């Protein structure tokens, strides 16, 4: 292990972080993403800490929490990929040096790294997760040629029903649409999570990095809505809601197709933000998206009784 680099990695608590330098590091990182900007982290995990090397050359956010005197680190909501971000060469050994610098008093770790983070070392459990990306560099007709037959049928159905796409739908309308439909099955999301999501969407729009779209029926009923985040040459499909009528009419597919049409040809990549779920993965692949992967790491130093409680979701 390179002791020189390891010794330059320092732990900073939240108050010690210079957010202007932090965001500059995110801008300049070859693997930067929207999730790691200071304002984004402030919303999804207030009072996050960090590991920083050599005056912000490399950075790693640490979403540390504490309950019942136990420190732990879990992936915050609405952040698919964190890990180490760098404007310099980033080898598996360097990533491992950052992981080794995570404070030892954190008893449980379960976080996602980013697609450019590979690790070299032992003592960590890892899991591979799937993501799907669609390069929008080609003309729209070229991209549409790679759509699945099922997707093309759904788009024809949507067009025949006279659906219309509108920009700048209010975030709370998209959240409401989700909560009244698919959200009924998502029991672990509480009011505070939805309020945090709305805050995130409004802040991203204020920063010029967020966009919302809605699909309306001929009767002017909102059938589907979605929010996209724009950063580092990516359009991140962060959240969507769809009614049962919207599902029957192919409204979400129609919305995604409309966004693809708007941004082609261009230098953006549409990041579908998932998924490990087979059904969603099939839906994204229907647009011609390519599968990529990223790692999550897990480390458990909890005493057996506390770990049993954790698995029962009674302490975290």
Round to whole Å and give the CA distance between 315 and 205.
35
Domains in the chain, please, with CATH?
A: 3-128+295-311 (3.40.630.30), 137-267 (3.40.630.30)
Distance of CA 207 to the CA centre of its chain: 17
What's the order of all strands across the beta sheet hosting 125-135? Answer: 64-67, 70-74, 106-112, 290-300, 125-135, 269-271, 234-242, 222-231, 210-216, 164-167
Over residues 178-198, mean pLDDT: 92
Mean per-residue pLDDT of the chain: 93
**pLDDT, position 312:** 46
- Packed helices 251-263 and 149-160: angle between N→C axes, nearest 10 degrees: 100
Which residues on neighbouring strands pair with residue 174, listed in sequence order?
none
Residue-wise pLDDT tens digits, 205-239: 999 999 999 999 999 999 999 999 999 999 999 99
Residue-wise pLDDT tens digits, 123-167: 789 999 999 999 999 999 999 999 999 999 999 999 999 999 999
Q: Enter the pTM of the model.
A: 0.93
| Percentage of the chain exceeding pLDDT 90 | 86
User: Which parts of the chain fold into alpha helices (H)?
Assistant: 3-8, 19-28, 38-44, 92-100, 140-144, 149-160, 171-179, 191-206, 244-249, 251-263, 278-285, 304-311
**Residues 52, 9 contacting (CB under 8 angstroms):** yes
Tokens of 30: 């070859």
């Amino acid at each position: 292990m390179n002791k020189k680099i390891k010794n330059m990695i320092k732990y900073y608590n939240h108050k010690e972080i210079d957010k202007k330098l932090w965001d500059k590091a995110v801008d300049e990182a070859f693997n930067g993403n929207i999730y790691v900007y200071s304002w984004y982290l402030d919303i999804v995990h207030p009072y996050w800490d960090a590991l920083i090397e050599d005056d912000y050359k490399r950075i790693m956010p640490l979403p540390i929490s504490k309950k019942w005197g136990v420190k732990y680190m879990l992936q915050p909501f609405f952040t698919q990929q964190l890990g180490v971000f760098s404007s310099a060469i980033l080898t598996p050994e360097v990533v491992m040096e950052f992981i080794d610098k995570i404070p030892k008093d954190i008893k449980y770790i379960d976080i996602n790294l980013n697609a450019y983070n590979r690790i070299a070392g032992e003592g960590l459990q890892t899991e591979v997760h799937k993501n799907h990306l669609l390069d929008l560099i080609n003309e729209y007709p070229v991209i549409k040629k790679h759509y699945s037959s099922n997707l093309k049928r759904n788009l024809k159905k949507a067009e025949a029903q006279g659906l219309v796409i509108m920009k700048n739908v209010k975030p709370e309308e998209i959240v409401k649409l989700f909560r009244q439909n698919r959200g009924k099955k998502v029991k672990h999301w509480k009011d505070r999570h939805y309020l945090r999501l709305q805050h995130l969407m409004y802040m991203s729009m204020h920063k010029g990095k967020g966009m919302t779209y809605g699909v309306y029926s001929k009767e002017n009923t909102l059938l589907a809505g979605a929010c996209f985040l724009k950063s580092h040459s990516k359009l991140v499909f962060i959240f969507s809601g769809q009614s049962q009528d919207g599902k029957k009419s192919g409204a979400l597919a129609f919305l995604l197709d409309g966004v693809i049409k708007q941004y082609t040809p261009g230098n953006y990549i549409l990041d579908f933000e998932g998924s490990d779920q087979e059904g969603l993965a099939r839906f994204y692949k229907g647009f011609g998206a390519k599968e990529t992967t990223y790692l999550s790491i897990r480390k458990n130093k909890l005493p057996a009784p506390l770990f049993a409680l954790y698995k029962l979701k009674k302490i975290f």
